[in-house]
Amino acid sequence: MEISFIHLSDIHFRKTSGSSVDIDADLRNAILTDIKINAKSILKNVKGILVGGDIAFAGQKKEYDFAREFLKEMTEQLGIDEKNVYCVPGNHDVNQALIKKSDSILNAQSKIEEANTIDEADYTFGKYITDEACPDLLYKPISEYNDFAVSYGCNIDQNRIVWTEEFSLDNNMKLKLLGMNSCIISSHRDHDERDEQDARKMVIGQNQIPSYEENVVWVLICHHPTIFWKFREQILPKLDKRVDIQLYGHMHQQAIDASPERLIINAGATQPVRGKDWLPGYNWITFDCECVNGERIMKVKAYPRVLSKDRDRFLCDDESCSKGNNFFEYTLNIDEKRKKNLQDGSEIKKENVTEENNDTAIRQDIERDIVYNFFELSYVQQNEVLNELKLLRSEYAGKRYIEIIESILQDARDNNCLEQMKKLICEKL
């Protein structure tokens, strides 16, 4: 059972997007046409759209409103639910103007950046997000991103520093998306240096690296490639062992790097700032798991798409493809990799997908429906739903629902009323 995704990054919606002076409208129409005519003829079982950051240009609400409309059009072309978008923040999703005005945020970022070791950086970060007076301080610059992303279940804050989403593959294998935040210390100071090699480095916490999970292939979505990470020498060995496919943005250049340990796909910019090297691009990606001689083989195909020279339509980017194909193909013996890296010689179970796994997938789908549609309701309607289900706690008073949605969902799980909640919300739409 092959599953597929559209992979975008660096869309850069501006305040002029959708206006009479929007010069990128034709570009976006070309992407939608490429999906309608070409992607749909090749891709099977499309599960969603992966967005690798820089959704907005300046982290403003108007930019996200237009991004939502564009992504909705894309899901309609693919024939999938509009909630099936999976995104992470990029440096352009950071409200840099807010940081310039806030000594508190700038000082907190500086303390993390000035750490001499990765352990010191993690300790400092942990101190700020557990500060009872202002635990969301480091996340205030991406508050507009979070307001946009919460509908997709991709908000990131002090209570959830990464997000994950799970999909079933054949041979009892699960593909698990990991949404990583590389912008904790991103600010207006990112651009102080012009040389890429000397560019300001981002701090990625060790607590963003996933644990080993049996029968799981990890797919990372992150904005900044590892060349922009501080302490990358300490992080990369663990990352490459645990995360099998890594998707990055930021560079505005399509590139694929494969090794026996992992596959890296650097996305082109879907809607880059225009200049002499202006070359919009995006990707289609498919995943499949086969069993060969008792071991599970992950097969990944990346279809890089690039705007034609006459700017009329999107075509295959031949330079990034396997010879003679319109895709780059990668295979990974996932069982062999796990045995090698864990070095315990134990057998990895290859049981059929259990009923429990299916139940989990159904529940996750219900929850995504709930979250997306809940934030389409008015505040009054939201209160009506929560009151009827007795999901309002006294400690929620004065808090925005975006901040406590995970707690609400957990209470709905505990009370066994997820399906009832979904029904009530749908009745009010």
417: left (phi over 0), alpha (psi -120 to 50) or beta: alpha
Q: What is the pTM of this model?
A: 0.87
Closest CA to 10 of 252, 305, 187, 255: 252
Helices (H) then strands (E): counts for the chain: 13, 15
**pLDDT the model gives residue 174:** 96
Q: Quote the CA–CA distance of 204 and 207 in Å, as a whole number.
A: 8
**pLDDT the model gives residue 353:** 47
Residues contacting residue 255 through CB under 8 Å, at least 6 positions apart: 264, 265, 266, 320
Contact 55/90 with Cβ under 8 angstroms? yes
Contact 49/71 with Cβ under 8 angstroms? yes
Domain boundaries, the chain: 3-342, 355-428
**pLDDT the model gives residue 349:** 53
Q: Quote the CA–CA distance of 210 and 243 in Å, as a whole number.
A: 8
Contact 224/182 with Cβ under 8 angstroms? yes
DSSP assignment of 303-371 equals: EEEEE-TTSSSEEE-GGGS-TTSSSEEEEEEHHHHHHHHH-S-PPPP-PPPPHHHHHHHHHHHHHHHHH
Q: Work out the end-to-end distance of the chain between its first and last CA atoms, rounded to an integer number of angstroms.
A: 34
DSSP assignment of 12-29 equals: -B-TTTTSTT-TTHHHHH
Instruction: Please list the pLDDT of the chain residue by residue as tens digits (429 residues).
Output: 899 999 999 998 887 776 777 788 889 999 999 999 999 999 999 999 999 999 999 889 999 999 999 999 999 999 999 999 999 999 999 999 999 999 999 999 999 999 999 999 999 999 999 999 999 999 999 999 999 999 999 999 999 999 999 999 999 999 999 999 999 999 998 876 555 556 789 999 999 999 999 899 999 999 999 999 999 999 999 999 999 999 999 888 888 999 989 999 998 888 877 777 778 899 999 999 999 999 999 999 999 999 998 899 999 888 888 777 889 999 999 999 999 988 654 455 555 545 556 777 788 889 989 999 998 988 889 989 998 999 988 878 778 888 889 889 989 998 999 999 999 999 988
Closest CA to 77 of 111, 117, 122, 30: 30
Q: Which neighbouring-strand residues pair with 12?
A: none
Superfamily of domain 3-342: Metallo-dependent phosphatases (3.60.21.10)
Please return the burial class of 313, using the count of CB atoms within 10 Å of its CB with bins 0-12, 13-18 and 19+. middle
φ/ψ (deg, to 5) at 272: -75, 160
Instruction: Provide the pairing of β-strand 314-316 with 3-8.
Output: unpaired
**127-164 burial by CB neighbour count: b if 16+ within 10 A, else e?**
ebbeeeeeeebbbbbbbbbbebbbbbbbbbbbeebbbb
For 58, 89, 98, 156, the CA distances from 141, given in Å and listed in that order, are: 11, 11, 6, 12
Please return the burial class of 40, using the count of CB atoms within 10 Å of its CB with bins 0-12, 13-18 and 19+. middle
**pLDDT the model gives residue 326:** 87
Q: Quote the CA–CA distance of 30 and 73 in Å, as a whole number.
A: 12
Contact 388/424 with Cβ under 8 angstroms? yes
Instruction: Provide the pairing of β-strand 263-266 with 255-258.
Output: antiparallel
A 10 A CB-CB count for 184 gives 26
Closest CA to 13 of 185, 222, 186, 270: 270
Q: Quote the CA–CA distance of 357 and 353 in Å, as a whole number.
A: 6
